[in-house]
Amino acid sequence: MTEIRELILDKFFSPNGGIPDQKDFKVTTSKFDENKPLEKDQILINLEYISVDPYLRARMQGVHTFVDPFKLHEPINSGCVAKVLKSNCPRFKAGDHVSGYFNWQEKQIVNVTKEVVKVDPNLAPLPHFVGVLGMTGLTAYFGLVLIGKPKKGETIVVSAAGGAVGSIVGQIGKILGCRVVGICGSDEKAKFLKSEFGFDEVVNYKSSTYEKDLKNACPKGIDIYFENVGGKIADPILFLINKHARIPVCGTISTYNAPIEKDIGQRAQYFIFSKQALMQGFLVFDYSEQETNEALKHLSQWIKEGKLKEKNVIFKGYDHIIEAFTKLFNTTNNTNIGKVVIDVTDQSGSSKAQQ
């Protein structure tokens, strides 16, 4: 028996309870039998990289929202990369790296499903497989390409443009020949998105001239608005959409920490009607294996060609998972650009956050 660390949900938090707090979680240790024989199609893995994503908040409330809730006092899970230590599944051998939805615990035995896939560290750095080559990249691709159906020369606007999904959406938009306008919360991010990721324009929603800036950045109106935030940031978008505009709704992070009844602002229906526009909510889980493989083929190809880049914000160690997670919701002091990943390969238990 060895001792392993794990991160558990200690208390459900209220749907209306503001930003999730460190006190609702606990890092615990438990006994783990590494020598327990594996059943057929089981693997023993060692966790390496953990993805934290805004949607996880909805699983921590004890009620079904758009996803099932986590159980109390059990490890949380999310998209992760892990190393195979032992395998009783013909698809994997010890030493392989795999991605899948794993528990936030150092070691675990996993029943292999088709979601568990081998990843190639020669194709991209391992954290990318929970990012641009994982749920993040698929989310960006499905929303922008399959719902947005961008045509060359069209104008795409993406909110939370500095976020994991937003920064990929912008780059795919450029690859497909569109004008890409980002919305983010600081001038430094805006500058970075233009210089590093090739956004044509980026506007700061905190500016007093936000509405005017947005209008100026979209002289031909908006054909696709990739929605990540909702709320008042999204209101002026509606006035700028073109005939037959498409609005894939990937999330509305501005609404997650307050009662939804308070999300009062410009109603969308008139604009959707008068522009014969489409607004479509989606989750990656809605798409087929074939669509997933097709998307990953394109994403890998673009990475290989150097057209698509991912910036990772890396936190280190179990003690910093929740810090990394809660920072996703911090709009006043969030300098993160790109995909936030926790590196738990460091077995020393270091508690120093590193970005």
Name the site residues for a copy of itself (rule: CB under 8 A): 58, 65-66, 227, 230-231, 234, 243, 249-252, 255, 260-261, 263-283, 286
The residue among 276 and 290 lying less far from a copy of itself, judged by its C-beta, is: 276
Structure-block tokens of residue 329? 């919701």
CB of 77 to a copy of itself, least distance (A): 20
CB of 63 to a copy of itself, least distance (A): 12
Question: Which of 91, 114, 5, 106 has the alpha carbon at shortest distance from 43?
Answer: 91
One DSSP character per residue, 291-308 reads HHHHHHHHHHHHHHTT--
| 30, containing H or E segment | strand 25-32
Q: Each residue of 158-186: b (16+ CB within 10 Å) or e?
A: bbbbbbbbbbbbbbbbbbbebbbbbbbbb
CB of 87 to a copy of itself, least distance (A): 35
The residue among 269 and 332 lying less far from a copy of itself, judged by its C-beta, is: 269
Residues near 15 by beta carbon (within 8 Å), at least 6 away in sequence = 61, 63, 65, 259
The residue among 2 and 280 lying less far from a copy of itself, judged by its C-beta, is: 280
The residue among 252 and 300 lying less far from a copy of itself, judged by its C-beta, is: 252
The residue among 118 and 243 lying less far from a copy of itself, judged by its C-beta, is: 243
| 105 vs 215: CA distance, rounded Å | 47
Q: With beta carbons less than 8 A apart as the criterion, state whether 254 and 230 touch.
A: yes
Q: Each residue of 243-253: b (16+ CB within 10 Å) or e?
A: eebbbbbbbbb
CB of 266 to a copy of itself, least distance (A): 7
CB of 17 to a copy of itself, least distance (A): 17
The residue among 243 and 304 lying less far from a copy of itself, judged by its C-beta, is: 243
CB of 176 to a copy of itself, least distance (A): 23
